[in-house]
Amino acid sequence: IAAWHQLRSPAMLRVCVVLLVLALVVAEEAQLRIGVKHRPAECPRKSSKGDTLEMHYTGSLLDGTVFDSSKERDPLKFTLGAGHVIQGWDRGLVNMCVGEKRKLTIPSHLAYGERGSPPKIPGGATLKFEVELINIS
């Protein structure tokens, strides 16, 4: 019974509140975030798993350091949902229209995880991508 009273003390309640807030922050950081920056007026076809997509992209770390970009070369071509790209892309590029631009914030576990992709992407890194869908086939 004495332990129960200690758990109900104001100090323990404050500790519990702090831990709950921290858990919510960690859960929020672990989520894939998809922001639509531009959506064309007409969209006769949306991307789906199994489609071959051609994308332009710029990838950066949270501090803004760019680690890769296709802007000065040909678009990246890959099959959506086939594991050819990081999981954050396979999930974050579904239902896109040609000409659509998105901003993806991808937590580490949906990118390169704790191992990273040295030398440019450290382990545990959350990544940001500005992407544009060029073609669906």
Q: What's the rounded Cα separation, in Å, for the pair 2 and 21?
A: 27
Provide the 10 A C-beta neighbour count for residue 69.
14
Catalytic residue status for 68: yes
Catalytic residue status for 134: no
User: Of residues 34, 90, 106, 129, which has the active-site annotation?
Assistant: 129
Helix (H, G, I), strand (E, B) or coil at 5: helix
User: Of residues 57, 78, 106, 121, which has the active-site annotation?
Assistant: 57
Q: DSSP per residue over 27-45, as a string?
A: HHHTS-EEEEEE--S--S-
User: Of residues 34, 51, 86, 121, which has the active-site annotation?
Assistant: 86
Please give the C-alpha separations between residue 62 and each of 23, 57, 81, in angstroms, as whole numbers: 20, 16, 25
Catalytic residue status for 67: yes
Q: What's the rounded Cα separation, in Å, for the pair 74 and 60?
A: 19
Catalytic residues: 57, 67-68, 86, 112, 129
